[in-house]
Every structure is written in structure tokens, then in C-alpha cells.
Amino acid sequence: MIKTILLKNRPVGKPSISDFEFINEETSLISGEGEILIETVYVSVDPYLRGRMNDTKSYIPSFELNQPIQSGIIARVIESKNENFEVGDFVSGMLSWKTKQLSTGEGLLKVDNTKAPLSAYLGILGMTGLTAYLGLNQIGKPVLGETLVVSGAAGAVGSVVGQLGKILGLNVIGIAGTDEKIDLLKTKFGFDAGINYNTSTNIKEDIAKVAPNGVDIYFDNVGGSISDAVLFNINNFARIIICGAISVYNNTELPKSISVQPFLVKKSALMQGFIVFNYAEKYPEAIKHLSGWLAEEKLTYAETIVDGFENIPSAFIDLFDGKNTGKMVVKI
């Protein structure tokens, strides 16, 4: 049997389980010449998938209604009529939310489960790690001794950004949503300070307390009022990396934000949108550094692993309630 998850409705506000449809097909797939049959092992759920559920133009096409949703997936080759793949190989790529599927192999990368756990190829050795490394270096341009603030700090991207900041000799402050996450930032990931945005009564002042010399780099994963509070603390020539804005992804009306221009002018600061796919030529360099630091134990990572194909939509929805620490992954 093959199980598939389709997008049933375009979510309005926060997605709900009823926006997804589960179908089971009593068919068996047979690979044609040049094809492989693959079985899903791990599924990545990511905040950016929310944008693909809207019917709006973006840097990546919208999902079609009543079609399978796609995300980063690790799969095992269970049948091969393609000379580049053998039965037992593990591959990663943008694949459908299906338990089994056919592929020509195009766009799939082989991953080595003897070098790192398979799930890591969806996280620190996948899009997450690339985003952290390339966003911080290409736009943040860190200089030893500077102060870096990271929002969404205990999440997949944020927890890597903070650690990279420490490797590069920065003073690193993380903003996250629970006291447990703030503890973890300091004990597991080596951040210098953390602010719980849910209990802080004044995030702007709390940042000023832990960054008395101001903020040189802001890695923005969340947008909204948290990012407004950071803007009040930026230094001259600060760099602001707009990686994501999860706090507004479910908004049904345009958010009321402060006007950023006066802050940027006054501080000669740079604010730049970042999309990891625009830096594909730098992936090998990034992976070389990330895997090297992992092997040297200068980098670590956290994962929230949810069990079961049926739980993919709920794991995705839980991202918007901060239920994950580190990378949210579903194990099939």
C-alpha cells in the first residue's frame, strides 16, 4: 500500500489538519527503465512550506490543490533500473509526501549513513546548515568580537547560526520562546545570553542589557515585534539578514510594523533578504566546513523527531507553536 498526503485546502491563518488529505492506494509501483523505486525514511517539515500553501507568486512555486505536498526527504532505494543507484542506497531530495514513489534520480543526492545519521542530511548537513552558514557569512560578514543576535535561536537554523557565531569569535545572543530553550542555548549551543520573548516585559531593553555595546549582526528568523526590538539596538554599519518571518506567515492581514527606513539610515545599516537557493555554488564550501566542525565536535545539533507518516501534518503545524527544539523531522 502507498500512503500519500495531499494539500486539500489553502490554509487561512494557522494550518489545521483538515487542510490535508490522506489517501491510501492498494497499488504496487514498478520501476521503468532508468527509474528507481524509493521508500521514504525521514521527512523534513519546514516553516517555508506554509508560503507554498498560498496561491501567491514567490521564489518557489505554490503547491497545487489535491496534489502531494513536497519537502526535503531521505529515502531508501528498494528497486533500481538506473545504473547510478543500487538497492540499499540512501538519497535525499525534494520529494512527495508518499511512503513510496518512483524517480528518475534527477535532483537526488546520495547520502552516506556511515558518515552522519541520515536525519542530519535534512538538518545541519542539509538546507538548515547551509542556510545558517551562508546567511551568516554572505550577508552578515562577521568580524571577530562583534555582537550577533539570532531570533528563532533554538530552532533548526537559529541553533546553528549561534554556534557558528561562537566559532567565529562573536558575542552571541539568542531569542527564543521558553526558559528550557534559553537554558539549552547557553548549555548545549554555547550562546553567551538568551532572552525569552514570551516572558520578557521589554525585549528592546533586555537586548540592551545583554548587548551594552549594541548589535552588529541580526540573523532574523521570525520578523514582527521581536525584530522591531532588535532594530532599536543596532550599531553603525549593522548587517541584518532577513532569513525568515515565521511570526507573520499565518497572518491574514498585513502586519503593522514599524518603519525600518529611519533605523537603517541613522545607522548606515544593511538589511538584506536571503534565500539559500541563490548560493548553490557555495554549497560544497559550506558542507566542507559544517561537516569538519561536526567531526571536530565544535558544532552540535538538536532534533525533534516525530514518529509516523500520519503525523507529518501535525509536526508541520507544531512548528508554529514552537513545539520543536532544533530540526523538526518525521521518521517513517
If one asks whether residue 43 binds ligand NAP (CB under 6 A), the answer comes out as: no
Give the separation between CA 175 and CA 228, rounded to whole angstroms: 13
Helix, strand and coil percent figures for the chain, each rounded to 5: 30, 30, 40
Question: Looking at beta carbons only, is 122 or 211 nearer to ligand NAP?
Answer: 122
CB of 90 to ligand NAP, least distance (A): 22
If one asks whether residue 194 binds ligand NAP (CB under 6 A), the answer comes out as: no
- Residue 226, C-beta contacts closer than 8 angstroms, at least 6 positions apart: 151, 175, 197, 203, 247
Considering only the stretches 106-114, 186-194, 306-314, 319-327, report the one whose residues sit in contact with ligand NAP under the rule CB under 6 A: 319-327
In 3D, which of 134, 180, 186, 137 has the Cα closest to residue 159?
186
Alpha helices, DSSP H, located in 74-223: 127-134, 156-167, 179-187, 203-210
Question: Looking at beta carbons only, is 81 or 282 nearer to ligand NAP?
Answer: 282
What is the x/- site pattern for ligand NAP, positions 131-160, by CB under 6 A? x--------------------x-xxxxx--
What is the x/- site pattern for ligand NAP, positions 210-229, by CB under 6 A? -----------xx---x---
Give the separation between CA 319 and CA 244, rounded to whole angstroms: 13
Question: Looking at beta carbons only, is 232 or 320 nearer to ligand NAP?
Answer: 320
What is the x/- site pattern for ligand NAP, positions 59-98, by CB under 6 A? ----------------------------------------
Bridge partners for 328 per DSSP: 304
If one asks whether residue 309 binds ligand NAP (CB under 6 A), the answer comes out as: no
One residue of 126, 140, 177, 313 binding ligand NAP per CB under 6 A: 177
DSSP secondary structure of 58-113: -SSPPPPTTSB-EEEEEEEEEEE-STT--TT-EEEEEEESBSEEEE--TT-EEE-T
Give the position of cell 502507498.
2
User: 223, 231 in Cβ contact below 8 A?
Assistant: no
Considering only the stretches 74-82, 111-119, 187-195, 315-323, report the one whose residues sit in contact with ligand NAP under the rule CB under 6 A: 315-323
Give the position of cell 501535525.
314
Question: Looking at beta carbons only, is 181 or 239 nearer to ligand NAP?
Answer: 181
Total residues at interface with ligand NAP (CB under 6 A): 32
Question: Looking at beta carbons only, is 25 or 179 nearer to ligand NAP?
Answer: 179
One residue of 243, 302, 306, 330 binding ligand NAP per CB under 6 A: 243
Helix (H, G, I), strand (E, B) or coil at 125: coil
Task: Read off φ and ψ for residue 34, nearest 5 degrees.
Answer: 85, -5
If one asks whether residue 190 binds ligand NAP (CB under 6 A), the answer comes out as: no
If one asks whether residue 125 binds ligand NAP (CB under 6 A), the answer comes out as: no
Which three three-digit cell numbers place residue 86?
543500487
Considering only the stretches 75-83, 110-118, 126-134, 287-295, report the one whose residues sit in contact with ligand NAP under the rule CB under 6 A: 126-134
CB of 261 to ligand NAP, least distance (A): 22
DSSP letter for 310, please: G
CB of 176 to ligand NAP, least distance (A): 4
Task: Read off φ and ψ for residue 180, nearest 5 degrees.
Answer: -60, -40
If one asks whether residue 233 binds ligand NAP (CB under 6 A), the answer comes out as: no
Question: Looking at beta carbons only, is 80 or 324 nearer to ligand NAP?
Answer: 324
Task: Read off φ and ψ for residue 215, nearest 5 degrees.
Answer: -110, 125
Q: Which residues bind ligand NAP (CB under 6 A)?
A: 46-48, 127-128, 131, 152, 154-158, 176-178, 181, 221-222, 226, 243-247, 274-276, 319-320, 322, 324, 328
